[in-house]
Chains A and B, each alone.
Chain A
Amino acid sequence: MTVLVLAGVALFGLATGAAAGLLGVGGGIVIVPFLTLALGLSQHAAEATSLVVVLPTAVVASLELRRRGIGDLGQALRFGTVGALAASGGALAALLLPASTLKIVFAAFLGLVGVRLVRDGLRE
C-alpha cells in the first residue's frame, strides 16, 4: 500500500472519528462498508478491523466528554461491561456465519432503525 493511500485512509478515519464523537457511535457502520468496498477486505476482516478503530475512537471521545462533565462514564462502563459479554457471543456468531448472511443482517438492521427514525420524525 502506498503512502498516499495510507494518508487517504487516515483522512477517512478523521471524518469517521469526528462523526462518531458527535453522534455517540463507534463509526463502524461507516468503516465496515469502506473497508469492504474501497479496500477490498472480506466482510469478516472488515468487521474485525473496524472494531480495532472503534475502540480508540470511543476511548478518546469518552475522555474528552468526561473532561467536559457530559454523560455518566461510570454508569456507561458498568452496563457496557455487561454488553461486552454479549459482544463476545456476537463476534463468535459472526465468525461462524457466512459473509453473505452477515451483509444481509447488517443491511436489514440499518433499514429497520432508519424506518423507525423516519416514522418518529414524521410524527413530531
Chain B
Amino acid sequence: MADAAATASSTRHRLRALLSIHPRLVAIGVAGGLLSGLLGVGGGVVMVPLLVLWAGYDQRTAHATSLGAIVPISIAGVLTFGLAGRVHWIDAAALAVGAVVGARLGAGWLARIDQRVLRMVFGCFLVVVAATMGIRA
C-alpha cells in the first residue's frame, strides 16, 4: 500500500518534471517559433544567442539544443505553409537531398570545434548575412 503510494507519487513527480520547462526556455521557443513561421527560417539565429546570453547555455550546447527545438517548430511551419499550397516540392527535394548529407557533416564539426572559435564563426556568419541583406536593401 505504502509502496503503491510511493510509486504514484514518484510517477507524478516524474510527470511534473517532464512537463516543466524553464520560463526562459518557453520564451526562447516562442521567439524562435514566431520568427520561423514569419520568415521561413529555423529560428536558430535568434535561439542560439538567447540560449547563450539569457539561458546560460555554453556555446556548443546552445547550437545543439537550438537544432532540436527547430524540429517541432519547422513541422508546424511546414504544415501551415503546406496546407496553403505554397511549397515548391521539386526545389525542396533537391535542396533537402544535399542538406541532410551536409547536416551530418556540420553536426560532426560542431561536436569537435573549439567553443571560442565556434562563437567567432557564428558571430561572423550573422554579420555577413546582415551586411548582405543591408546592401541588397
Instruction: Using CB atoms and an 8 Å cutoff, list the residues of chain A in contact with chain B.
Output: 1, 6, 9-33, 35, 39, 41, 44-62, 64-65, 68, 70-73, 75-95, 102-107, 109-111, 113-118, 120-121
Contacts and interface: CB of A to CB of B under 8 A. Distances in A.
B49 A116 contact: yes
B23 to A, nearest CB: 10
B122 to A, nearest CB: 6
25 contacts: A1-B90, A10-B95, A22-B106, A24-B62, A25-B44, A31-B95, A48-B40, A53-B95, A57-B102, A70-B60, A71-B67, A72-B61, A76-B71, A80-B70, A83-B29, A87-B73, A87-B74, A89-B34, A89-B37, A90-B37, A91-B77, A91-B81, A106-B39, A107-B134, A117-B127
Contacts of B87: 45, 48-49, 52
B125 interface: yes
Contacts of A51: 36, 40, 74, 77-78, 81
Given A41-B88, A45-B88, A109-B35, A83 B69 contact: yes
B4 interface: no
- The list of the 9 closest CB pairs from A to B, nearest first, reads A26-B42, A21-B106, A47-B40, A17-B102, A90-B37, A71-B64, A76-B68, A114-B130, A24-B63
Interface residues of B, number: 93
Contacts of B44: 20, 23-26
Contacts of A116: 49
B15 interface: no
A31 B102 CA distance: 14
Given A51-B74, A104-B137, A117-B127, A22 B113 contact: yes
A20 B40 contact: no
Contacts of A76: 64-69, 71
Q: Tell me the interface secondary structure of chain B in the complex.
A: helix
Of A39, A45, A76, most B-chain CB atoms within 10 Å? A76
Contacts of B95: 9-10, 12-13, 16, 31, 49, 53
B67 A90 contact: no
A46 B91 CA distance: 10
Given A22-B121, A24-B44, A79-B21, A45 B86 contact: yes
Contacts of A88: 37, 76-77, 79-80
A18 B113 CA distance: 14
